[in-house]
Every structure is written in structure tokens, then in C-alpha cells.
């Protein structure tokens, strides 16, 4: 029987195992894609301040969607185009072809350096940084997770890869020990040997189990860490609506917009009709109005465009001053979100307890971008119930219960907790 020299079979085997592991590592590495955060931030900032008025990454706006534009165009082409597309179109037929919307030619950006353009392009390729939290669209109720997996996950992956190498090493050792055994010729030979080696080596089985567990843990935690709502959670809304401008500078009462807080379980988000009560007449902001949005300062030019988005949503034709009937509801992204098994009632806290919105939501009138101020954990609810005394003002119903409870607990004033604010059933369905 002729047999292929051992060292060449070992090499083939090593290469094969290597390929398999690399393939494995790559196919799951999407969980921990390495992103150069500094370039991403830089590019994003530039993109948001210069390009967002006409471009989005994923949708056509005034100009085409720019997500992954580098897959469509050469880097040099893009640089020339962005610096001065009108000039470029004169010398480049391909560029002239790109000008499908010829009335809305793109602004020239001769001031941008090559590095800045590269950063912008980098951003169009990698997209936005991950935000922790479940993103829930109010109304639509759809939920999408974004990648917020912690750093240590990568160590699990590294451990899995090390174990994989141990597996190979161990396999090679077993096979070379087997070299006296009879062999079948051809490519099957090495596979057969792998199996034979595997069967004989318990250590190898243990290694494979560990490998499986590590990969399992990696995938599981990678998925789990994409869910969970965070304090400070601040999703980017599609309209740069500022509470500071509305509730702060213009002193509009919270309940003018969140009118159901007083009477019902939820506060609700105002419909676009509420916006139009004012914005039919307010199509522009004043000269010096500024909003900090996603790390960029929006001035009058940008903010007037934001009001145009309100018109688009309401189907309002600002030239003819009439509704066109073509509406496009605003999809506000939900910021606060308790799990479904918790019962929380706004009117109980706002109307009955007389709490100010700010007690739980923080200084909303100073926020350009809405964010979650309190942790909304069970401990947070209970701490307040433990410390807050029942407000007896003009409340006969409480006065009576209060007298009885005060006697029972032997205190002057009972707390919400003593009133029942610590009973599981009050907060859990
Ligand atoms: C005033 C609106 C406007 C602004 C601002 C703007 N663009 Fe454009 N852009 C366009 C339009 C419109 C097109 C489509 C081509 C045309 O008709 O000129 C376009 C096309 C492009 C293209 C070509 C895409 C392709 O696939 O052919 C690139 C790349 C591009 N823009 C990048 C940028 C970048 C980067 C910025 C910010 C620095 C920016 N644009 C700012 C309006 C704009
Ligand atoms: C002019 C209308 C208007 C006024 C006035 C207003 N809001 Fe809002 N509020 C909105 C809109 C629109 C949203 C949804 C967009 C967002 O989250 O920024 C919102 C969102 C919120 C949210 C987050 C809801 C979520 O998604 O979890 C809170 C909390 C909130 N408002 C509290 C307040 C408080 C407190 C005040 C008064 C200080 C106030 N609002 C005044 C229109 C208004
Ligand atoms: C009670 C009147 C009133 C209501 C209701 C109102 N706005 Fe405004 N809004 C204003 C005023 C006044 C300004 C201009 C402020 C300035 O000029 O500095 C403004 C400015 C804006 C701006 C530009 C400044 C910013 O916040 O980014 C946007 C966008 C806007 N409103 C969106 C909305 C949306 C969306 C709604 C409905 C949820 C709404 N407004 C409801 C009065 C109102
Ligand atoms: C005792 C604390 C507390 C007070 C006071 C309070 N909120 Fe809330 N608010 C919450 C919690 C908790 C949620 C999350 C509710 C959920 O997910 O079911 C929330 C959610 C909201 C939302 C999101 C939509 C909704 O209804 O779930 C808005 C808007 C809101 N609050 C506005 C207000 C306004 C306006 C006031 C004052 C009139 C106010 N809140 C007072 C705790 C409070
Ligand atoms: C800032 C203080 C504060 C926070 C935070 C708070 N509450 Fe309350 N809660 C009160 C007060 C005050 C009352 C009493 C209202 C009344 O007089 O009936 C109350 C009453 C209640 C009641 C009715 C209790 C009863 O015996 O009738 C429930 C249920 C409740 N809260 C749930 C919650 C939940 C769920 C959360 C957290 C998501 C929460 N609360 C957070 C202050 C708070
Ligand atoms: C004042 C309101 C309130 C009371 C009373 C309350 N809970 Fe909760 N509970 C909550 C809230 C809010 C959450 C959601 C916490 C989160 O999402 O982080 C929660 C979450 C939970 C969870 C899920 C695990 C977790 O931490 O997220 C369990 C289990 C639970 N509560 C059990 C109980 C039991 C048992 C009692 C009675 C001893 C009780 N709760 C009393 C408000 C309350």
C-alpha cells in the first residue's frame, strides 16, 4: 500500500483546520466588529453638520442614500465629487450621469480636507455607533435591538479560539501517534484519521465541549446584551424637537402637549395636529435660535428644515396654506419603557400625588434632546414610596385612611409605602 508522507498530510490537515476556524471566527465576528470610534465620531459630526440636510445613510432624501457609498464609487471619484461636483461633472461623464436630480445640484465643499472626507466616508460605511437599549417606536410597537455588547465578550471569543488551537495541536499529536496504524489512500485518509484520532482521545472530546460552550456563551450573551433599557438612554428622533425651546424658552405647559398625564395611565405623545395648532403660523424660528442636536449645533437654516418635516408629516402645503391630505406620521422613538409586567399610572402620581413631572423626568425644560433621567428600576419606585409622606391636602378620602394607618404604625404621618406602595400587587399585574 502506498501512503502519502506523513508531514504533507499533517500540513493539509493543519491548513484545513485553520480555514475552518478562520471561517468560524469571521462569521461570528460581526458581533464585535472593530470600529475606529474616533474616525466614526469625526465623520459623523461632519456628516451631521454638512450633509444631513440633503442625505441620509439609508434613504433617499434630496440626494441619494449614502450608506456604503464606497462600495459603489472609487475613493478619488468621491473626493472630487464632494469637493466640487459641478466642476467635476464638466470633466467626468460618469459624474454627469450621477446628476439625476439636475435642479438640485449639490453644494460644493472645497473647504474639506482629504482626511475629513475620508472620515465622512468611513462613517457612511460603518454607520452610527451602537446605542444600548430596546428601541420601541411608539404606536408601531416594533422593537429593534442595536449592538451594545460589552467588551469582555471578546475575551470569550479569544478563549474559544485558543481552545480551538489546542484541539488542533492535540489532534496532530494523536494522528502522529497513530502513524503505525493501517491507512486508506487519498483525501479521505486524513479525514478518516481525524475521526479515528478523535475517538481515541478523551482530552480532545473535553476540549471540543469547552469550545462549544464558549461559542454558545458568546452568541448567547452577544444577543442578550442588546436588550435592556438604560438611564440616560437617548435615541435620535427623526425631528430635532427640542423641549428646551418649547417647554423652556417658550414656556409651553407640559400638559398642553402631554394632555393625558392628568387623567390617564399614560402621558402620551402629542399628535401632529397639536404641533400644527402653532406651526400653521410658525414656519420659521427666530434668527438666534439654536438647538444642540446629536453633538451638533443647529442654527436657523437647519431648524427651519426641521419644521418643514412637521409640515410633511401633517401634509401641510406651506405655500398654498392648505392640507394636501398626504400625511406621513412622525415615528417618535420611545424613550421611557417599563417592562409589560409593571403597572405605572401617571394620573395617580401627577393628579393624586401632585408630583411635578420633573421629579421623575428631570429638568426636561433644559433638554434639547429628550433623555431618560431616572433609572426606572423597582428600587427607584420603592425608595420614593418609602420616603414620601402622603399628601393630605384637600383629600378627605385619605384623611380617614390616614388616621387609621397612623394609629396602626404609630407615626404622625404615613408614607406611601405604609399606604400600600410596597405591595407587589400594586405595581405588578
Ligand atoms: C444641498 C443639498 C446637498 C448637500 C448639502 C450635500 N449633498 Fe451630496 N448630493 C446632493 C444631490 C442632489 C446629489 C445627487 C447628484 C446631483 O444631482 O447633483 C448628491 C450626490 C452625492 C454623492 C454621489 C452619490 C452617488 O452615488 O452618485 C455623494 C458621494 C455625495 N452627494 C456626498 C455628499 C457629502 C459627503 C455631503 C456633505 C459633506 C453632501 N453630499 C452634501 C445634494 C447634497
Ligand atoms: C410642544 C409640545 C410638547 C411640550 C410642551 C412638552 N413635550 Fe414632552 N414630548 C413632546 C414630543 C413631541 C415628544 C416625543 C419626542 C421626544 O422624545 O423628544 C415628547 C417626549 C417626552 C418625554 C419622553 C417620552 C418617551 O418617549 O418616553 C417626556 C418624559 C416628556 N416629553 C416630558 C415632558 C415634560 C416634563 C414637559 C414639560 C416640562 C414636556 N414634555 C413638554 C412634546 C412636548
Ligand atoms: C404652543 C405652540 C407650539 C406647539 C404646540 C408646538 N410648537 Fe414647535 N415651536 C413653537 C415656537 C414658538 C417655535 C419657535 C421658537 C423660536 O423661534 O425660537 C417652535 C419651534 C419648533 C422647531 C424648531 C426648534 C426645535 O425645537 O428644534 C421644531 C422642530 C418644532 N417647533 C417642532 C414642533 C413639533 C414636532 C411639535 C408637536 C409635537 C411642535 N413643534 C409644537 C411653538 C410650538
Ligand atoms: C412618579 C414619577 C413620574 C412622574 C411624576 C411623571 N412621570 Fe412620566 N413617566 C414615568 C414613568 C415610570 C414612565 C414610563 C411608563 C411606562 O413605560 O409605562 C413615564 C413615561 C412618560 C412618557 C412616555 C409616554 C407614556 O405615557 O408612557 C411621557 C410623555 C411622560 N412620562 C410625560 C410626563 C409628564 C408630562 C409628566 C408631568 C405632567 C410626567 N410624565 C410625570 C414616571 C413619571
Ligand atoms: C418621586 C416619588 C415616586 C416615584 C419615583 C414613584 N412613585 Fe408611585 N407613588 C408616589 C406617591 C406620592 C404616591 C401616592 C399617590 C396617592 O396619594 O395615592 C404613589 C402611589 C403609587 C401607587 C398606588 C399605591 C396605592 O397604594 O394606591 C402605585 C401602584 C405606584 N405609585 C406605582 C409606582 C411605580 C410602578 C413606580 C416606578 C415605576 C413609582 N410608583 C414611582 C410617588 C412615587
Ligand atoms: C412601587 C412599585 C413596585 C412594587 C411595590 C414592586 N415592584 Fe417589582 N418591579 C417594579 C418595577 C418598576 C420593575 C421593573 C424593573 C426594571 O425593569 O428594572 C419591577 C421588577 C420586578 C421583577 C423582575 C426582576 C427585575 O428586577 O427586573 C420581579 C421579580 C419583581 N419586580 C418582583 C416584585 C415582588 C415580589 C414585589 C413585592 C415584594 C414587588 N416586585 C413589588 C416595581 C415594583
Pick the residue whose CA is nearest to atom 24 on ligand 2. 335
- Dihedral sign for Cα 269, 271, 273, 276, please: positive
The C-alpha angle 29, 34, 36, rounded to 5 degrees, equals 170
Using left for φ > 0, alpha for ψ between -120 and 50, and beta otherwise, residue 141 falls in: left
**Look-up of cell digits 384623611:** 399
Sign of the Cα pseudo-torsion (57, 59, 65, 69, in order):
positive
Q: CB of 76 within 8 A of CB of 83? A: no
247-296 residue pLDDT tens: 999 999 999 999 888 777 778 899 999 999 999 989 999 999 999 998 88
Q: How far apart are CA 355 and CA 238, in angstroms?
A: 30
The sign of the dihedral angle between the CA atoms of 141, 147, 151, 154 is positive
Please report where in the chains the cell 401632529 appears, as a residue: 272
Locate the ligand 1 atom nearest the alpha carbon of residue 69 and give its number.
26
Answer yes or no: are the C-beta atoms of 198 and 204 closer than 8 Å. yes
Identify the CA nearest to 159 among candidates 213, 206, 95. 213
Atom of ligand 4 nearest to the CA of 335: 23
Ligand nearest to the CA of 259: 4
Q: How far apart are CA 336 and CA 159, in angstroms?
A: 37
27, 156 contact by CB (below 8 A): no
Burial status of residue 155 (CB atoms within 10 A of its CB: 0-12, 13-18, 19 or more): exposed
A 10 A CB-CB count for 133 gives: 23
C-alpha radius of gyration, the chain, whole number: 31
Q: Which of 382, 385, 400, 414 to mutate to test the pocket of ligand 5 (most atoms within 8 A of CB)?
A: 385
For ligand 4, the distance from its centroid to the CA atom of residue 267, given in whole angstroms, is 6
The Cα–Cα gap between 25 and 31 comes to 10
Nearest Cα to 316, choosing from 257, 275, 268, 259?
275
CA 83 to ligand 5 centroid distance, Å: 58
Q: How many CB atoms neighbour CB 318 within 10 A?
A: 13
Going by pLDDT thresholds of 50, 70 and 90, the confidence category of residue 9 is low
Residues 173-224 have pLDDT tens digits of: 777 777 665 544 444 456 777 777 777 777 888 888 888 998 888 877 766 5
Kindly report the CA angle at 291 between 288 and 296, in degrees rounded to 5?
Answer: 115
The pLDDT confidence band at residue 145, using thresholds 50, 70 and 90, is: very low
Say whether pLDDT at 246 is over 80: yes
Distance between Cα 195 and ligand 2 center (Å): 64
- Residue given cell 396602626 in the structure block: 408
How far is Cα of residue 82 from the mean position of the Cα atoms in its chain? 29
Confidence bin at 240 (pLDDT 50/70/90): very high
Between 385 and 310, the more confident residue is 310
- Asked which of 1-10, 51-60, 105-114, 314-323 is least confident by mean pLDDT, the reply is 1-10
C-alpha cell read off for 409: 404604625
Residue among 261, 241, 222 nearest 313 (CA): 241
| Ligand whose nearest atom lies closest to the CA of 367 | 2
Our mutation pick for probing the ligand 1 site, out of 101, 106, 124, counting the most ligand atoms within 8 A of Cβ, is 106
The residue whose grid cell reads 469571521 is 26
Which distant-in-sequence residues (6+ apart) come within 8 Å of 180 by Cβ? none
Q: Is 202 exposed, middle or buried (0-12, 13-18, 19+ CB in 10 A)?
A: exposed
Contact (Cβ atoms closer than 8 angstroms) between residue 426 and residue 378 = no
Which residue from 246, 272, 268 is spatially nearest to 259, judged by alpha carbons?
Answer: 268
CA distance 288 to 270: 26
Mean pLDDT (the chain, rounded) = 78
CB atoms within 10 A of CB 169: 13
Contact 251, 238 (CB under 8 A): no
Amino acid at each position: 500500500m502506498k501512503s502519502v508522507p506523513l508531514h504533507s498530510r499533517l500540513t493539509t490537515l493543519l491548513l484545513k483546520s485553520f480555514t475552518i476556524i478562520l471561517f468560524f471566527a469571521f462569521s461570528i465576528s460581526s458581533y464585535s466588529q472593530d470600529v475606529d470610534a474616533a474616525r466614526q465620531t469625526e465623520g459623523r459630526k461632519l456628516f451631521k453638520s454638512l450633509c444631513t440636510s440633503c442625505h441620509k445613510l439609508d434613504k433617499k432624501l434630496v440626494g441619494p442614500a449614502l450608506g456604503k457609498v464606497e462600495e459603489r464609487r472609487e475613493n478619488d471619484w468621491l473626493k472630487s465629487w464632494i469637493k466640487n461636483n459641478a466642476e467635476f461633472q464638466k470633466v467626468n461623464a460618469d459624474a454627469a450621469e450621477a446628476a439625476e436630480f439636475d435642479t438640485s445640484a449639490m453644494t460644493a465643499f472645497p473647504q474639506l480636507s482629504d482626511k475629513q472626507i475620508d472620515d465622512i466616508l468611513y462613517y457612511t460605511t460603518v454607520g452610527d455607533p451602537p446605542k444600548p437599549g430596546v428601541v420601541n417606536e411608539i404606536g408601531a410597537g416594533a422593537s429593534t435591538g442595536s449592538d451594545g455588547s460589552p467588551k469582555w465578550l471578546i475575551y470569550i471569543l479569544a478563549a474559544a479560539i485558543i481552545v480551538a488551537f489546542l484541539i488542533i495541536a492535540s489532534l496532530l499529536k494523536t494522528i502522529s501517534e497513530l502513524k503505525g496504524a493501517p491507512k486508506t489512500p487519498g483525501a479521505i485518509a486524513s479525514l478518516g484519521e481525524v475521526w479515528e484520532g478523535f475517538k481515541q482521545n478523551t482530552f480532545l472530546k473535553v476540549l471540543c465541549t469547552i469550545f462549544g460552550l464558549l461559542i454558545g456563551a458568546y452568541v448567547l450573551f452577544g444577543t442578550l446584551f442588546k436588550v435592556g433599557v438604560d438611564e440616560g438612554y437617548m435615541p435620535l428622533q427623526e425631528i430635532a424637537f427640542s423641549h428646551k425651546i418649547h417647554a423652556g424658552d417658550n414656556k409651553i405647559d407640559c400638559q398642553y402637549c402631554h394632555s393625558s398625564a392628568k387623567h390617564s395611565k399614560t402621558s402620551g405623545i402629542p399628535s401632529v395636529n397639536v404641533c400644527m395648532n402653532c406651526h400653521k403660523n410658525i414656519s420659521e424660528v427666530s434668527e438666534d435660535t439654536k438647538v444642540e442636536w446629536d453633538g451638533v449645533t443647529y442654527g436657523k437654516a437647519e431648524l427651519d428644515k426641521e419644521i418643514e418635516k412637521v409640515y410633511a408629516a401633517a401634509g401641510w402645503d406651506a405655500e398654498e396654506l392648505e392640507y394636501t391630505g398626504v400625511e406621513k406620521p412622525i415615528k417618535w422613538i420611545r424613550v421611557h419603557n417599563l417592562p409589560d409586567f409593571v403597572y405605572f399610572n401617571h394620573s395617580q402620581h401627577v393628579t393624586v400625588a401632585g408630583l411635578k413631572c420633573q421629579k421623575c423626568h428631570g429638568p426636561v425644560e433644559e433638554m434639547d434632546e429628550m433623555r431618560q433621567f431616572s433609572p426606572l428600576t423597582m428600587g427607584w419606585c420603592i425608595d420614593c414610596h418609602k420616603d414620601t409622606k402622603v399628601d393630605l391636602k384637600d383629600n378627605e378620602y385619605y384623611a380617614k385612611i390616614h388616621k387609621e394607618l397612623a394609629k396602626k404604625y404609630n407615626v404622625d404621618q404615613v408614607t406611601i409605602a405604609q399606604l400600600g406602595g410596597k405591595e407587589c400587587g400594586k405595581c405588578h399585574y
